[in-house]
Amino acid sequence: MREGTSKVIYRADYQPPAFWIDTVELVFDLDPAKTRVLNRMRVRRNPDVMPQPLRLDGEELNLARVLVGGQGTSFKMEEGQLVLENLPEGNEPFELEIFTTCAPAKNTKLMGLYVSNDSFFTQCEAEGFRRITYFLDRPDVMASYTVTLRADKRKYPVLLSNGNLVAQGDLEDGRHYAKWVDPFRKPSYLFALVAGQLVCREQRISARSGRDHLLQVYVRPGDLDKTEHAMNSLMASVAWDEARFGLELDLERFMIVATSDFNMGAMENKGLNIFNTKYVLANQATATDTDYGNIESVVGHEYFHNWTGNRVTCRDWFQLSLKEGLTVFRDQEFSQDLAGDVSARAVKRIEDVRVLRTAQFPEDAGPMAHPVRPDQYLEINNFYTVTVYEKGAEVVRMMQALVGREGFAKGLSLYFQRHDGHAVTCDDFAQAIAEANPDSQLAQRLEQFRRWYSQAGTPRVRVQTHFDAVSGIYSLTLTQSCGATPGQPDKQPFVIPIALGLLDAEGRELTSGMHVLTQAAETLTFPGYSAEPVPSLLRGFSAPVILEYDYSDRQLLTLLANDTDPFNRWEAAQRLATGRALTYIRGDLPVELDAPYVEAMRTVLRHPALDAAFKELVLTLPAETYIAEQLDVVDPQRIHAVREAMRQQLSQALYADWEWAYEAHKDSGAYRPDPVSSGRRALAGLALAHLCLAARTSGDNVWPGKAYQRFKDASNMTDRFNALAALVISGHELAAQALQRFHAMFRNEPLVLDKWFALQAGAPDRNGNVLPVVKQLMQHPDFNIRNPNRARSVIFSYCSANPGGFHRADAAGYVYWSERVMELDAINPQVAARLARALDRWKKLAEPLRGAAREAIARVAAKPDLSNDVREVVTRALAD
Ligand code: B3K
Ligand code: ZN
């Protein structure tokens, strides 16, 4: 049963709190079945707000006692809130004491206080603190916390909370206690506690200022050998934030704790970050290069929140991108700076843009489209989205483009000077960056720029070129538009920084620069050309827009071979491939890759100067979801078939080149997850996948045999998993044996088993064979739907990452989806709502899929007692 309200919350309704809570003293008696929480607060009225009752949020709590100034008081419950009317008048602080109990062992939502592997963890963002005690659970109420934890010493030897440990000792009956004081005021969403049998890797560091800090990474006993990379990433994060933005660690102790039951990636609780094990644990035997990269960026992300999010936080949840967009931008910059040279930076940029275009662009075009700063929500957890995070980061990136790198650092300093210790808005942020750079284009156009925060939808920039051979004038006409999104029929022009260059026919750069497009249409002229140049547009993906220009193949081949901007070299290859895929799909034509395209791919693959990592990106075809977005009517199976046929032809046409690539890159030396060696592994992996694919038609078993050998002999997970995937994806008969062996090798490594499940649920569909496999996997003894990582590895890998297998003509995929959404909703609404998003784009589907998808969504929507989380997603999906 649900508690609380089902009311839509509007940004425009923001009211400051009627009370402030200055201090909070919490005492926990931890017990999985019944944890007792004593909460003593110093509260006072907000003098700026009309006197009114105190309404405290609470959820799934058992209330035992309420005392005001040490005396019993009257109270009532209204819409799940605890309402206190008889409070002292005047603005003097008073003491409010609340005693409650909760049941962590029964908490399957993983919000508030819960148990995982016999340890206690908390997750409070966005509104989980109210599941621990009654509180003003909103980010603009910032308090000083003192926390005492009491628990059985044998079962829970480690007791952690935010800030500094000020006391600890033994109690009667084998229990012990620890008392923590957080020196910084914070909103309740940043509260955390951890209790359990944990071990830690420690590192002492000195900041530039000479201050010493203790860094700790806590894991379960047995996992200590997988913490080195997380610790290295943390040290690198501390050093980077000091060097790039002058932001120092403000705590004596900074802790990371890993748990295997976690709804998302990680959480930036002040001084006590709690992480999904997926983003902490790594050694070369169990983690891939991608895992190493993700750990680096997530550790960085949570650490960077210490300033952007924790020191300066959000006034209300509509401002979420204030901390998330900015912190994603910071972690992206961190990873780029760590990657090193221009090429490695570009690789990271390409990966980030790929996420934006395959996940955020569809969101922006679907029923859940919302501005970077949303205007309304039913359930805030639904708005931790790629729009708030990744598009939000692009908005910050554009600001940096408009004020320059130094100007941006200056703006950030002003932001902290003004707002440190406060809860503020996205507007406050933009204002600070602009004011620190009064002569910039951002300052001059700030009001218009802010539309990036208020208008949803992906802008399209249409480019038309004209060359007048007589006058030698080359002109570019740029037209911008943005389609309607829910609640926003009309859009005003955006401020769009467009980095561009012009090349001559031989590929030499003639000019380069940045144009800031502000009008609906503008024409740029370039005089003095004797021949028509080739335009390189939106270099580095300088704005989150769809750039429409009818490039000729010749122009794209010139860019692919010569552009000084590595991003646009990659983009040229993507355009060449996308154009071909669309032609085959739209015309229902057989796939026949032309010689110029194949030769261009061969040239890149064999190029003596390009990095392996970059080659791997260029040779990888655009994702099926990306291709789908370019079509008005989508037949996912057709897209899958075309893309597979293109891959198959690349396998055969470049066979000798793939052989060369594999042999030349397969040894990357002693394992190191650096960009150069991981790039070599990535290219060798792609080559092996193609060689196994080629065996499908040739029937020659040499390469599948080599892949199996590689699978057995590999000295690291990247090579081992790539070899396994090559066999599974090519559908070779050795795959079954390899899968079995892999499971036996890693039966005690949950994160590796997740990969094993995900690979099978995401495998290319052949005659509808994946769904039965998925159903079987759910019967596997290692499957557990309550563990979010495991649920994602099977259910999401199929419903969200395997369009060819999921969108079945018989609708069995949709039936499976609706059953799982409903099943998960009763366990964990946040995870269920994410899964519900898998059918976001149903309206684009070709019949009969469209009708079947609609029916499946309607079936979910008709279920009584749905969580707000799922209800919001399915209601929006069905809206006109
Ligand atoms: N701030 C958290 C996300 C919390 C999600 C709540 N549903 C992790 C992060 O963005 O760093
Ligand atoms: Zn974040």
Tokens of residue 480, six digits = 């911008």
Ligand 1 geometric centre to CA of 794 (Å): 23
pLDDT digits (tens, 9 = 90+) for 25-67: 999 999 999 999 999 999 999 999 999 999 999 999 999 999 9
Mean pLDDT of the chain: 98
**What residues have a C-beta under 5 A from ligand 2, the ion?**
324, 327
Q: Is 276 near ligand 1, meaning CB less than 6 Å away?
A: no
Percent of the chain with pLDDT over 90: 98
Residues 404 and 435 in one domain: yes
pLDDT digits (tens, 9 = 90+) for 427-446: 999 999 999 999 999 999 99
Domain assignment of residue 481, given as a range: 460-550
Cα dist from 713 to 306, 709, 716, 756, whole Å: 43, 6, 9, 18
Q: Is 314 near ligand 1, meaning CB less than 6 Å away?
A: no
Quote the CA–CA distance of 322 and 345 in Å, as a whole number. 25
Residue 671 included in any domain = no
Residues 50 and 189 in one domain: yes
Residues 366 and 434 in one domain: yes
Ligand 1 geometric centre to CA of 125 (Å): 6
Quote the CA–CA distance of 456 and 441 in Å, as a whole number. 22
Pocket test for ligand 1, best of 121, 137, 267 (most atoms within 8 A of CB): 267
Ligand nearest to the CA of 834: 1
Q: Is 324 near ligand 1, meaning CB less than 6 Å away?
A: yes
Q: Is 384 near ligand 1, meaning CB less than 6 Å away?
A: yes
Tokens of residue 787, six digits = 């563990």
Residues 483 and 338 in one domain: no
User: Nearest residue CA, atom 7 of ligand 1?
Assistant: 381
Residue 651 included in any domain = no
Site of tokens 């309704």: 13
Quote the CA–CA distance of 191 and 108 in Å, as a whole number. 19
User: Nearest residue CA, atom 3 of ligand 1?
Assistant: 267
Cα dist from 333 to 328, 337, 348, 675, whole Å: 8, 6, 9, 15
Decide: 66 and 103 in contact? Cβ < 8 Å. Answer: no
Q: What is the mean pLDDT of residues 719-727?
A: 98
Tokens of residue 144, six digits = 């000083």
Ligand 2 geometric centre to CA of 705 (Å): 44
Ligand 2 geometric centre to CA of 382 (Å): 14
Q: Is 268 near ligand 1, meaning CB less than 6 Å away?
A: yes
Ligand nearest to the CA of 279: 1
Site of tokens 């859009």: 491
- C-alpha torsion sign, points 30, 32, 35, 41: positive
| Ligand 1 atom with minimal separation from the 830 CA | 7
Q: Is 575 near ligand 1, meaning CB less than 6 Å away?
A: no
Residue 24 included in any domain = yes
Ligand nearest to the CA of 326: 2
DSSP for 588-643 reads TPPP---HHHHHHHHHHHH-SSS-HHHHHHHHSPPPHHHHHHT-SSB-HHHHHHHH
Residues 91 and 159 in one domain: yes
Residues 392 and 503 in one domain: no
Quote the CA–CA distance of 74 and 766 in Å, as a whole number. 66
Q: Is 109 near ligand 1, meaning CB less than 6 Å away?
A: no
Quote the CA–CA distance of 137 and 2 in Å, as a whole number. 18
Cα dist from 707 to 639, 682, 701, whole Å: 28, 15, 10
Banded pLDDT at 149 (limits 50, 70, 90): very high
Ligand 2 geometric centre to CA of 542 (Å): 22
Which among 681, 661, 662, 663 has a CA at the least distance from the CA of 671?
A: 681
Percent of the chain with pLDDT over 70: 100
pLDDT digits (tens, 9 = 90+) for 653-702: 999 999 999 999 999 889 999 999 999 999 999 999 999 999 999 999 99
- pLDDT value of position 608: 97
| Ligand 1 atom with minimal separation from the 389 CA | 10
Residue 66, SS3? Answer: strand
Ligand 2 geometric centre to CA of 320 (Å): 9
Quote the CA–CA distance of 390 and 397 in Å, as a whole number. 10
Q: Is 126 near ligand 1, meaning CB less than 6 Å away?
A: yes
Residues 467 and 416 in one domain: no
| Ligand 1 atom with minimal separation from the 381 CA | 7
Which among 570, 657, 554 has a CA at the least distance from the CA of 617?
A: 570
Ligand 2 geometric centre to CA of 266 (Å): 8
| Ligand 1 atom with minimal separation from the 298 CA | 11
Quote the CA–CA distance of 156 and 153 in Å, as a whole number. 5
Kindly report the number of other CB atoms within 10 A of residue 218's CB atom: 26
Ligand 1 geometric centre to CA of 718 (Å): 28
Quote the CA–CA distance of 880 and 864 in Å, as a whole number. 22
Ligand nearest to the CA of 125: 1
Q: Is 301 near ligand 1, meaning CB less than 6 Å away?
A: yes
| Ligand 1 atom with minimal separation from the 380 CA | 7
Quote the CA–CA distance of 571 and 469 in Å, as a whole number. 28
Tokens of residue 256, six digits = 């990371």
Give the end of a domain, one of 195, 227, 245: 195
User: Nearest residue CA, atom 1 of ligand 1?
Assistant: 267
Which among 621, 623, 582 has a CA at the least distance from the CA of 801?
A: 623
Helix (H) or strand (E) holding 859: helix 849-861
User: Nearest residue CA, atom 8 of ligand 1?
Assistant: 267
Q: Is the peptide bond before 126 cis (omega within 30 degrees of 0)?
A: yes
| Ligand 1 atom with minimal separation from the 302 CA | 11
Give the end of a domain, one of 435, 454, 473: 454
pLDDT digits (tens, 9 = 90+) for 763-773: 999 999 999 99
Ligand nearest to the CA of 265: 1
pLDDT digits (tens, 9 = 90+) for 261-292: 999 999 999 999 999 999 999 999 999 999 99
- pLDDT value of position 5: 73
Does residue 99 surpass a pLDDT of 70? yes
Ligand 1 geometric centre to CA of 39 (Å): 25
Banded pLDDT at 209 (limits 50, 70, 90): confident
Residue 122 included in any domain = yes
Torsions phi, psi for 205 (to 5 deg): -135, 155
Quote the CA–CA distance of 828 and 851 in Å, as a whole number. 28
Site of tokens 């569809």: 362
Quote the CA–CA distance of 388 and 408 in Å, as a whole number. 20
Amino acid found at 656: A
Ligand 2 geometric centre to CA of 140 (Å): 17
Residues 402 and 487 in one domain: no
Does residue 1 surpass a pLDDT of 50? no
- pLDDT value of position 501: 98
| Residues with catalytic function | 302
Site of tokens 């911008």: 480
pLDDT digits (tens, 9 = 90+) for 68-87: 999 999 999 999 999 999 99
Residue 560 included in any domain = no
Tokens of residue 412, six digits = 């950030």
Task: Provide the angle, in degrees to the nearest 10, between the axes of the packed helices 829-836 and 868-878.
Answer: 10
Ligand nearest to the CA of 322: 2
Site of tokens 């940043």: 190
Ligand 1 geometric centre to CA of 385 (Å): 10
3-state helix, strand, coil in the chain (%, to 5): 45, 20, 35
- Can you list the pairs that 577-583 forms with residues at least 24 positions away whose Cβ atoms lie under 8 Å? 577/621, 577/622, 577/646, 578/622, 578/626, 578/627, 578/630, 579/553, 580/646, 581/621, 581/622, 581/627, 581/639, 581/642, 581/643, 581/646, 582/627, 582/630, 582/631
Ligand 1 geometric centre to CA of 266 (Å): 7
Which among 241, 266, 204 has a CA at the least distance from the CA of 338?
A: 241
Residues 441 and 342 in one domain: yes
Q: Is 644 near ligand 1, meaning CB less than 6 Å away?
A: no
Helix (H) or strand (E) holding 740: helix 734-745
pLDDT digits (tens, 9 = 90+) for 485-539: 999 999 999 999 999 999 999 999 999 999 999 999 999 999 999 999 999 999 9
Residue 519 included in any domain = yes
Cα dist from 669 to 53, 229, 612, 666, 680, whole Å: 67, 18, 15, 9, 10
| Ligand 1 atom with minimal separation from the 301 CA | 11
Q: Is 264 near ligand 1, meaning CB less than 6 Å away?
A: yes
R_g (Cα) of the chain, nearest Å: 28
Which among 85, 16, 100, 90 has a CA at the least distance from the CA of 55?
A: 85
Quote the CA–CA distance of 575 and 564 in Å, as a whole number. 17
Quote the CA–CA distance of 413 and 420 in Å, as a whole number. 10
Residue 645 included in any domain = no
DSSP state of 748: T
Kindly report the number of other CB atoms within 10 A of residue 685's CB atom: 24
Quote the CA–CA distance of 308 and 314 in Å, as a whole number. 10
Residues 418 and 531 in one domain: no
Residues 7 and 60 in one domain: yes
Site of tokens 């992906």: 458
Give the end of a domain, one of 454, 482, 514: 454
| Ligand 1 atom with minimal separation from the 263 CA | 7
Task: Provide the angle, in degrees to the nearest 10, between the axes of the packed helices 566-587 and 636-653.
Answer: 120
Q: Which residues contact 425 (CB under 8 A, 6 or more apart)?
A: 314, 315, 319, 322
Decide: 559 and 573 in contact? Cβ < 8 Å. Answer: no
Return the CATH number at 496: 2.60.40.1840
Q: Which residues contact 599 (CB under 8 A, 6 or more apart)?
A: none
Cα dist from 741 to 724, 738, 753, 792, 856, whole Å: 10, 5, 12, 23, 37
Helix (H) or strand (E) holding 830: helix 829-836
Return the CATH number at 378: 1.10.390.10
pLDDT digits (tens, 9 = 90+) for 233-249: 999 999 999 999 999 99
SS (H, E, C) 87-123: CCCCCCCEEEEEEEEECHHHCCCCCEEEEECCEEEEE
Counted domains in the chain: 3
Q: Is 331 near ligand 1, meaning CB less than 6 Å away?
A: no
Site of tokens 């994160």: 751
- pLDDT value of position 6: 87
CA 723 to chain centre: 27
Q: Is 635 near ligand 1, meaning CB less than 6 Å away?
A: no
Q: Is 302 near ligand 1, meaning CB less than 6 Å away?
A: yes
Which among 187, 183, 185, 192 has a CA at the least distance from the CA of 160?
A: 192
Quote the CA–CA distance of 524 and 522 in Å, as a whole number. 7
Q: What is the mean pLDDT of residues 15-21?
A: 98
Q: Is 611 near ligand 1, meaning CB less than 6 Å away?
A: no
pLDDT digits (tens, 9 = 90+) for 553-596: 999 999 999 999 999 999 999 999 999 999 999 999 999 999 99
Banded pLDDT at 3 (limits 50, 70, 90): low
Return the CATH number at 170: 2.60.40.1730
Tokens of residue 692, six digits = 């196994």
Pocket test for ligand 1, best of 324, 326, 830 (most atoms within 8 A of CB): 324
Kindly report the number of other CB atoms within 10 A of residue 677's CB atom: 21
Strand order in the sheet with 521-526: 521-526, 473-481, 460-468, 546-548
Site of tokens 């957080």: 182
Q: Is 869 near ligand 1, meaning CB less than 6 Å away?
A: no
Residues 467 and 432 in one domain: no
Tokens of residue 618, six digits = 């260029």
Residue 248 included in any domain = no
Ligand nearest to the CA of 190: 1
Which among 392, 382, 419 has a CA at the least distance from the CA of 321?
A: 392
pLDDT digits (tens, 9 = 90+) for 812-867: 999 999 999 999 999 999 999 999 999 999 999 999 999 999 999 999 999 999 99
Does residue 202 surpass a pLDDT of 80? yes
Could you give the dihedral angle defined by the CA atoms of residues 393, 398, 399 and 403, in that order, rounded to the nearest 10 degrees? 140
